[in-house]
Amino acid sequence: MALVGRKFPNIAVDAMNAMGDTFKVNIFEEAVNKGKKVLLFWYPKDFTFVCPTEIRAFQDALADFEKRNTIVIGASCDTPEVHFAWLNTSKDDGGIEGVTFPLLADTNRNLSTLLDILDIEAGEYDEENDLVLVEGSNVTFRATYLIDEEGKIFHESVNDMPLGRNVAEYLRLVDAYTHVQEKGEVCPANWEEGKDAMSATRDGVAAYLSSH
């Protein structure tokens, strides 16, 4: 079920940062209480291959998100201890040392289950052990959520495991949503900051199309 237009689940999850601090993070409250947008991105596993390239890309763009009043938070189903180890492992050894934003540790999979982003499905029934076997790795796909200052989701996307994200697109989406908030205009295809938007009327669309 699409979650765009709905409030983000109001649930706290364990988190870890590079300093070794373990704390609870509630994404909904982060947005509402701080009056900020939140970009939450999920990745499958620590100490893997595509994941560190994405995490470093978000870190490289962190100042750009902060300029846009947007908090960046990563998330997986790894434990806080594994996060801490990865955060303090050098790049040469496959780590993400130098990353400063927190990583959620959804080990009980409460939040990822609510979001329905886990790679898992029911398999065959094991009659002898009275157990339904599961298929899939029970880790998350590469899901991304943008949440506004009222806790509402204004973007969601889910990539399969091998497909890394384009971080610049999320900056564009934040810019577009902020333009809508501030100007009351809508943003046409391929809109970027500084380009023309348009009013959401028949005349507005006609005027935009005639000039482009």
Where helices occur in the chain by DSSP H, the ranges are 27-34, 50-60, 62-67, 80-87, 110-115, 167-183, 202-210
Q: If we measure between CA atoms, which residue out of 1, 4, 71 comes closest to residue 34?
A: 71
Say which residues have a Cβ less than 8 Å from residue 96's Cβ, sequence separation at least 6. Answer: 52, 55, 56, 59, 86, 87, 89
Q: Has 51 been annotated as catalytic?
A: yes
Neighbours of 98 (CB within 10 A): 12
Could you say which of 13, 39, 51, 71 is catalytic?
51
Give catalytic residue positions.
51
